[in-house]
Structure formats: C-alpha cells, structure tokens
Amino acid sequence: MTSDERNIIELPDDALPAIDELSGDLRLLAEIVGVRPALRVAQAFGGTSIRVYGVNKWLRRHRDRCMRREYEKGGISGVDLGRKYNISERHIWNILGSAEADERQMELF
C-alpha cells in the first residue's frame, strides 16, 4: 500500500508542530526519528497498537560482524571482546566459530 492509498498528508515545514507540542508516544517517536516521519507513522497507523519485532536480529548480526572483523584484524582477545560487547567469553567463541549467515539465503523456519 502506498502513502497515497493511506491518505498520508505531508505537512509543509511551516505547519509542522514542534516536538514539545506533541504528547505521549507520538512525542517519543518524534524525539527518535523526527517530527515529519513520526507524523507519517501516526497517520499510517493512527489508533492502532503496533509492535515492532526483529530489530534484535539485525543488531546481533551487526555486532557479530564487528567482533569478527576486530578479531581477524588482530590485537584483541576473546576476553577483551567479551568485555567490550558485554557478553561471555564462551559466547564470543561460539560467534567467532560459527559461519556468518548468508543474507541472500532464505530461512526455512
């Protein structure tokens, strides 16, 4: 569904409210993404409770890539990586020992 199909109205700059004029979850959202994107989300999902799942998967994938790069570059131990990323040394070795997931491959389950 495109924004036209949802009847999302783009406000001109001079009609945008200041963050302190917003309240509740809309204000929290605007503080994170900005007023204009927050108003777009509010129009698309207004009155609907939404839950956003899956972000942890992407954050973990990024963290794991960073750890692999640092370890392969050298000069940092598993213990130091554990301290830096606040995870156990055992978990560090599990991550470093596993193959990086191929993003192009579909998951079966």
Q: Tell me the pLDDT tens digit for each residue of 50-73.
A: 888 888 999 999 999 999 999 999
Sorting pLDDT into bands at 50, 70 and 90, what band is 48? confident
| Model-wide pTM > 0.75 | no
- pLDDT at position 32 over 70: yes
- Residue 51 is predicted with a pLDDT of 86
CA distances from 97 to 4, 27, 78, 91 (A): 48, 43, 11, 10
How far is the C-alpha of 36 from the C-alpha of 49, rounded, in Å?
20
Q: What pLDDT score does 102 carry? A: 60
- Residue 79 has a pLDDT of 93
Give dist(CA 53, CA 15) in Å, integer: 32
Under a CB-based contact definition with an 8 Å cutoff, are residues 29 and 38 in contact? yes
